[in-house]
Structure 1
């Protein structure tokens, strides 16, 4: 069993707990459930600062602890001040160190689109995401069948959530429905080995339907890397570790964006 399989098994246990203790009705009654969502896709399309989705995470399986005592309010509001297109917040605790209130604090302090980044396998997680105030969610092709992707995407859309569909392997291309998908992300990091390979992502990106908004994820460690990916047809860029490993992630993000201009 590889690490991704281990994460999925852990997530299935979380889902079982959710289904035992909460209902869709419970989530529907939460204050943020009926709040209007913001379009991450449009924010990226209209961005004049690189289409960056800046990520907040404390640790990762590939790097261990990145920023253990990170201040979610200070960092995410700093991202917003830097004019990012959106903010991604990890909500997985066992493997990414998320704290229970990370997403809530980010939502309460930022008026821009928020992506809930987690390992979503079941509809109840979509209802939970909407109740948290998410604007978009991540679906990972590697861990979902084509049928499950379409079902979860349709349910997300009914709830007003956008979907970022993440790919890494060429065989996952067949899971893209261009009429249904909002954004397609290519993870430059292999989810099995956690190695980064930009050339692989660029080759895969050329096979994605033209009408899809393409997002590059992981391994973007310099402004030159972002520009290089832009030249190869990518529209948005999810950057996490490169920001979060800095002493002041928000300040670094702002300087990164300034250097792009």
Structure 2
């Protein structure tokens, strides 16, 4: 199963990083950290003027599709997304399967004002501290990759550091974990991370089970204004879109096309 494989690779990589940059080193670096986490919930919540929000993804590759964008310049892509009206950015930092890098967060943070998500397979508090040090404003926690107790512990640690958390779910079991852990922002991923199969009805199945007051994010398989309007109609507040944008020559125009409200 690919999720298990990625998590195992992440554990191995993490042990190496901890030796090279001990936790104490990360902690000391916070004293020189110029970044204060930005207001993620405000960026993702619906308003009458802006009914739903877009988290645009900076993504070079994926395990299922290989290289998605050859001309990959994270800062240029981020600035193009800003011109298109993105509300937040998702930055892939997993190096082996998604060709990401933590440094991309720091590079992008210098040039764009919107909140940044560290999108990775986070299984340890060390990675959360890394996210803060490198300039992220919120992190992804994947319910399927964690025990309920682990999810709760990592979520609370992130909040302690001032970071928000997007908890990603794929089924009812994941949703139960997310609610028990205290998630405020819940991402429904249409892509099964074990098989990569798409389940585009998942929002319809899970949203009725989500308590009021949660910010709901739909992820994967999103490429048309009609789909976004339909899912917003059943309760989705924000959409995380990566592959569709990354395959377009002009990502600014692609964002404007999928969400006409962005046009000035």
Relative to the length of structure 2, the TM-score reads: 0.92
Q: What is the alpha-carbon distance in structure 2 between the residues aligned to residue 260 and residue 81 of structure 1?
A: 9
* Offset of residue 148 of structure 1: 0.4
Aligned to 1:24: 23
SS in 2 for 1:166: strand
How is 1:47-62 mapped onto 2 (pairs within 5 angstroms)?
A: 48=50, 50-62=52-64
Judged with a 3 Å threshold, the aligned counterparts in structure 2 of structure 1 residues 163 and 99 are, in CA distance, closer, same or farther, namely closer
How is 1:172-187 mapped onto 2 (pairs within 5 angstroms)?
A: 172-177=174-179, 180-187=182-189
* Offset of residue 224 of structure 1: 0.7
* Offset of residue 189 of structure 1: 0.8
- In structure 1, stretches of 5+ residues that fail to align are none
Judged with a 3 Å threshold, the aligned counterparts in structure 2 of structure 1 residues 25 and 174 are, in CA distance, closer, same or farther, namely same
* Offset of residue 76 of structure 1: 0.4
Deviates more, 1:244-253 or 1:113-122: 244-253
* Offset of residue 100 of structure 1: 5.4
State whether residues 85 and 262 of structure 2, in contact with CA within 8 Å, keep that contact through their aligned partners in structure 1: no
Aligned to 1:198: 200
Judged with a 3 Å threshold, the aligned counterparts in structure 2 of structure 1 residues 49 and 106 are, in CA distance, closer, same or farther, namely farther
Aligned to 1:43: 43
State whether residues 178 and 211 of structure 1, in contact with CA within 8 Å, keep that contact through their aligned partners in structure 2: no
- In structure 2, stretches of 5+ residues that fail to align are none
Q: How many residues align?
A: 260
Q: What is the alpha-carbon distance in structure 1 between the residues aligned to residue 41 and residue 154 of structure 2?
A: 18
* Offset of residue 113 of structure 1: 0.3
Aligned to 2:135: 133
State whether residues 50 and 260 of structure 1, in contact with CA within 8 Å, keep that contact through their aligned partners in structure 2: no
State whether residues 149 and 181 of structure 2, in contact with CA within 8 Å, keep that contact through their aligned partners in structure 1: no
Q: Which runs of 4+ in 1 moved over 4 A?
A: none
Aligned to 2:10: 11
1:230 maps to which of 223, 226, 232 = 232
Q: What is the alpha-carbon distance in structure 2 between the residues aligned to residue 128 and residue 160 of structure 1?
A: 13
**RMSD (CA atoms):** 1.9
Relative to the length of structure 1, the TM-score reads: 0.93
